Structure 1
Amino acid sequence: MTNSTRRRALFRADQVRELDSIAINVGAIAGIQLMKRAGRVIFQQLRLRWPLAQKVFVCCGGGNNAGDGYIVAALAAQKCMQVQVLSAVPTARLNGDAAAAMQFALAEGVQVTEVDDWASCLTLFDEQSVVVDALLGTGIKGEVRVEYERAINAINAGKARVIAADVPSGICSDTGVVLGAAVKADVTATFVGLKQGLLTASAPEYAGEMCFDELGVPFREAPSPLASAYAEVQPSAEQITRKSYRLKARPADAHKGLYGHVLIVGGDAGFGGAVAMAAEACARVGAGLVSVATQAVHVAPVLARLPEVMVNAVASGQELEPHLVKPSVIVVGPGLGRSPWSEQMLQQVMKTGLPLVVDADALNILAAKPACSEVERQNWVFTPHPGEAARLLGCTIDDIQADRFSAARAIQAKFGGVVVLKGAGTIIASATETLVAKVGNPGMATGGMGDILAGIIGALLAQGLGPAEAAGLGVCVHGDAADLAAFDGGQRGMLATDLISHIRKLVNPGVPSGG
């Protein structure tokens, strides 16, 4: 049904260090040369984005990240810009390539100041200046030390534009969490291998716009033995976008039987809107048939909104059973609630061998039932938000957000199938791969968005996509539709149903969508 292409490799910090080592030791690219290339990229981005900037302040620490900063300072001096290095640590701590970079900057006449009182720098960081954050790189362990925290706070309190070298200082490049304090950058220039943590958790809020440069390290087209050496460093994850997938056009003799029958099960008393939204999204993505099993009170309202959908009143698990014969996919959870009725619905659905999308209270019921902790199947997709993920693993939301990659993989290992851990930088984990989709916008922080996503994924499963493929494409379509809705009317006040008209365009090849 689709052809998967165009994925970008993501790496942990230790893997990027290994790539650096291979480039230096196997590829014979000197470390100082990589540093100069990184500094040049940062300086080019600075000049491109803020060509009228009058002053450049390079804030440096004591590691190789500082070396990138000293190179930037030297390049700025060569262009006769007003530039000053502000060091958070004694410069005597520098060694190796970073010390060589500092000497390069000094040779160009750059002033280097060791700063104790960072509050005094606030007047420097004005609207006419740019700050280069070269304080801390990917090697940070634990929360930032006080000397760096003071520098970070000063940068954030200033009015200057900020460009971060490799990662915003204080962000864990493996998980995206803030390690006590972090620089809020307008742009982050990151190098060699794209760090997985920059795409999820808090990192997107701090990284700003990202640009990536391999620094001429020849990953794919290198002559032997460098190519084989790089092949040993397998990505920890991959970034996907909607362009990573391509839905095929439908044949001229298509009929609804080719595109599956999705049953949406949910809508306990008071929650009928959830099944209606899931059903409408499912139909708009192209499922051949969509039906709903819900409480009797919701039948008329759902039919009034969606006359194309078959809506059945079910008062018990026994009444649901005959409706489980014809569907090819079941979406269970939207508006399901946690009543005895809800549990009966889920019990009956679980007896089928059909592909499932398990969302919302269906996840909460599974988490609350000890007997379900042993349930594992490969043809379902879980779509938890962090709270639901915490309940599935018996931990806290903070535990989930501290390492979203590990959390998604842990749920997948426990229950099988595919896990979609929703949030900023959605993680999609299957038995064989981990994907990250940095899509959507903060306007999606409103009720009903998860119901729309569940319906999208259900429709893609019904049309023949595998669970991982349906989850990945579904997340990207969902996020891109939200971006188009935000373009129409802004993020604040966006409703889940605002996405539906855009979803239809996004899943039809060749139809203008703005995306």
Structure 2
Amino acid sequence: MLKLQESLSLTHKIYRADQVREHERVAAEASGCDMYSLMARAGAAVFNQCQLLIPNTENFLILVGQGNNAGDGYVAAMHAKNVGKNVYLCAVEPERVLTGDAGRAQQAYLDAGGKVEHFSKALLDKADIVIDALLGTGITTAIRNEFADIIDAVNEAEVPVVSIDVPSGLDANTGESKGRCIQADVTVTLVGIKPGLTTGAGKQSCGKLVYDDLGIGKAFMERARSHASLLSLSMFTGMGPRDVHSHKGDYGRLLCIGGNRGTPGAIRLSAEAAMRTGAGLVKVFAHEQSRIQVSAGCPELMVTNESLDEALAWCTTVVLGPGLGQDEWAKEIFERTMSYCEGAHKPMVLDADALNLLSHSSVSYNVSECLITPHAGEAARLLGVSVDEIESDRFNCARQLAQKYHATCVLKGAGSVVDTERHAYVCQHGNPGMATAGMGDVLTGILGALLAQGIDQDLACKYGVSLHAKAGDCVAEQFGERGMMASDLFHYIRMLINGKR
């Protein structure tokens, strides 16, 4: 039986930056550690990651700002200096004396003979590795020009970068760049994983994400409630064996509606993905001019363009939207399907043009038994905002969509966000090769098949998103990312859903 075994480990929990700031001192004290000792642990963790990234590196460039993030940078510089590395430490204001624990770390570095210099391209050219300690998690406004100039220079150089806690210039909570943002190779995030590092542009900017609880994780977790959770396929028990005495009707009857004139491919991908995910019976309702293309080469599919009401009465679950279009035929099909399913309380997956038609609809449909799967453009239309506004705070927008429609929402993209109105989840799987036509249609078919097999909509959504993204990773691992096609996933969907990993 399919279950999600949610991890109790901090490695799968996400916390806002303000939560970390609020609770880390008390958690450190409860763990027998003061804040300066915590800073010392942070600096050591960062230096160790540098050694792992490029062993035997000799020339370290450490860039520091003015807060506690800078203190971590000074400690990392000390570790490099103590083992005989060439250390160049640059500050935006070299003469500035820091205060608090960061000031203590700064003074220790100076007492050990360290120098603090102005940033220069010449020093960057000498570096084998850069430690980014310019700006931490407290940034909420556009960064100043002096920081922007340094960030630009680092991003243009071909030097590996390790960022402390968050890439400088990135909003730790939303993943939005505040004008400029370091593009790190590794980000060592501390105490709690920040949401902005897990999805959208923030996932790109942080590079490889390394988490370190600095030895206070247990105490921190007892005091802070997670903002969201990370999902991976390994967290699910799997579908389990089928009963020996069973038949196709036991595994659901799925109706996939779409495939307008000239666009048969999307609904075909959804339907075939549903079959590979184990749906017992799959029927496609498509435009009469798309019937032959949808059914070609797949005799297991039932295809019709007649008697929509009969097809709706036959099915247990509906997929609506792939290739549907927005012409008069599409609008009529959309309105009839939505009204029927609302009255019959049939679970649905709404995707693609169904979402576009929903955003323009003057009728307020109750879609509480639905999964909605928008990409950023569709989400923008549903919320009446710009795509940039969606991408600037993906967690908040996914929650708004779930609340607006009382539906489970998948906001697709790098680090797809699943929001159930009560909690948010982020998929750890997926890769850029999946940015190609038809991938969303395959996901829609997977979700429809899981619902048709009687799986709870929230669980189906979390599992389906993880299964889809992991299948994409399997394709990329074997063949590479470029040239991936949506139909390439079918083989791996079948393998993964049967527990063959």
Q: TM-score range by the shorter chain?
A: over 0.9
SS in structure 2 of the partner of residue 121 of structure 1? helix
**Structure 1: 5+ residue stretches without partners:** 220-225
**Once the 2 structures are TM-superposed, how far is the Cα of residue 499 of structure 1 from its aligned partner?**
1.1
Separation (CA, whole Å) in 1 of partners of 2:224 and 2:362: 39
Mapped pair 1:111 → 2:103: no
Partner of 1:10: 14
Separation (CA, whole Å) in 2 of partners of 1:396 and 1:144: 23
Query: 1:417, 1:467 within 8 Å by CA — same for their partners in 2?
Result: no
Mapped pair 1:483 → 2:487: no
Q: TM-score, normalised by structure 2?
A: 0.95
Partner of 1:462: 452
Percent identity, aligned pairs only?
39
Partner of 2:132: 133
Q: Deviations over 1:215-260 (max 9, x none)?
A: 10042xxxxxx57xx5442111111111121222223323222211
Q: TM-score, normalised by structure 1?
A: 0.92
**Once the 2 structures are TM-superposed, how far is the Cα of residue 108 of structure 1 from its aligned partner?**
2.9
**Once the 2 structures are TM-superposed, how far is the Cα of residue 6 of structure 1 from its aligned partner?**
4.0
Mapped pair 1:100 → 2:104: yes
Partner of 2:324: 336
Residue identity matched to 1:474? G
Separation (CA, whole Å) in 1 of partners of 2:168 and 2:407: 36
Partner of 2:229: 238
Residue identity matched to 1:266? G
Q: Deviations over 1:69-125 (max 9, x none)?
A: 11111111111111121111245341100011112222333222133xx34434223
Query: 2:25, 2:34 within 8 Å by CA — same for their partners in 1?
Result: no
Query: 1:70, 1:101 within 8 Å by CA — same for their partners in 2?
Result: yes
Q: Deviations over 1:400-457 (max 9, x none)?
A: 1111111111111110110100111111111221111132111122111111000001
Query: 1:42, 1:165 within 8 Å by CA — same for their partners in 2?
Result: yes
Residue identity matched to 1:354? K
Runs of 4+ in 1 over 6 A off after TM superposition: none
Q: Deviations over 1:129-164 (max 9, x none)?
A: 111001011001211111111111121122221111
Separation (CA, whole Å) in 2 of partners of 1:72 and 1:25: 23
**Structure 2: 5+ residue stretches without partners:** none
Query: 2:27, 2:223 within 8 Å by CA — same for their partners in 1?
Result: no
Query: 2:14, 2:230 within 8 Å by CA — same for their partners in 1?
Result: yes
Separation (CA, whole Å) in 2 of partners of 1:96 and 1:490: 49
Query: 1:457, 1:474 within 8 Å by CA — same for their partners in 2?
Result: yes
Query: 2:88, 2:123 within 8 Å by CA — same for their partners in 1?
Result: no
Separation (CA, whole Å) in 1 of partners of 2:421 and 2:142: 32
SS in structure 2 of the partner of residue 371 of structure 1? coil
Residue identity matched to 2:353? D
Partner of 1:199: 198
Query: 1:59, 1:131 within 8 Å by CA — same for their partners in 2?
Result: yes
Residue identity matched to 1:340? E
Partner of 2:81: 77
Query: 1:62, 1:91 within 8 Å by CA — same for their partners in 2?
Result: no
Q: Deviations over 1:467-505 (max 9, x none)?
A: 111111111111111122222332222111111111111
Q: Deviations over 1:242-293 (max 9, x none)?
A: 1121222223323222211111001110111111100000000101111111
Write out aligned runs for 1:446-461 (5 A): 446-461=436-451
Partner of 1:422: 412
Residues paired across the two proteins, number: 492
Q: Choose which of 474, 492, 495 in structure 2 pairs with 1:505.
A: 495
Partner of 1:474: 464
**Once the 2 structures are TM-superposed, how far is the Cα of residue 295 of structure 1 from its aligned partner?**
1.2
Query: 1:78, 1:108 within 8 Å by CA — same for their partners in 2?
Result: no
Query: 1:175, 1:201 within 8 Å by CA — same for their partners in 2?
Result: no
Separation (CA, whole Å) in 2 of partners of 1:396 and 1:204: 21
RMSD of the TM alignment (CA)?
1.6
Residue identity matched to 2:329? W
**Once the 2 structures are TM-superposed, how far is the Cα of residue 464 of structure 1 from its aligned partner?**
2.0
Query: 2:28, 2:216 within 8 Å by CA — same for their partners in 1?
Result: no
Separation (CA, whole Å) in 1 of partners of 2:97 and 2:243: 67
Separation (CA, whole Å) in 2 of partners of 1:441 and 1:64: 33
Residue 462 to residue 93, structure 1, CA distance change in 2 (3 Å)? farther
Q: Deviations over 1:373-409 (max 9, x none)?
A: xx23321000001110011011111111111111111
Partner of 2:268: 276
Mapped pair 1:166 → 2:168: no
Q: Deviations over 1:33-52 (max 9, x none)?
A: 11111111111111122112
Separation (CA, whole Å) in 1 of partners of 2:158 and 2:311: 61
Q: Choose which of 113, 121, 125 in structure 1 pairs with 2:123.
A: 121
Query: 1:91, 1:114 within 8 Å by CA — same for their partners in 2?
Result: no
Query: 1:282, 1:458 within 8 Å by CA — same for their partners in 2?
Result: yes
Write out aligned runs for 1:313-324 (5 A): 313-314=305-306, 319-324=307-312
**Once the 2 structures are TM-superposed, how far is the Cα of residue 27 of structure 1 from its aligned partner?**
4.3
SS in structure 2 of the partner of residue 348 of structure 1? helix
Residue 205 to residue 218, structure 1, CA distance change in 2 (3 Å)? closer
Partner of 2:428: 438
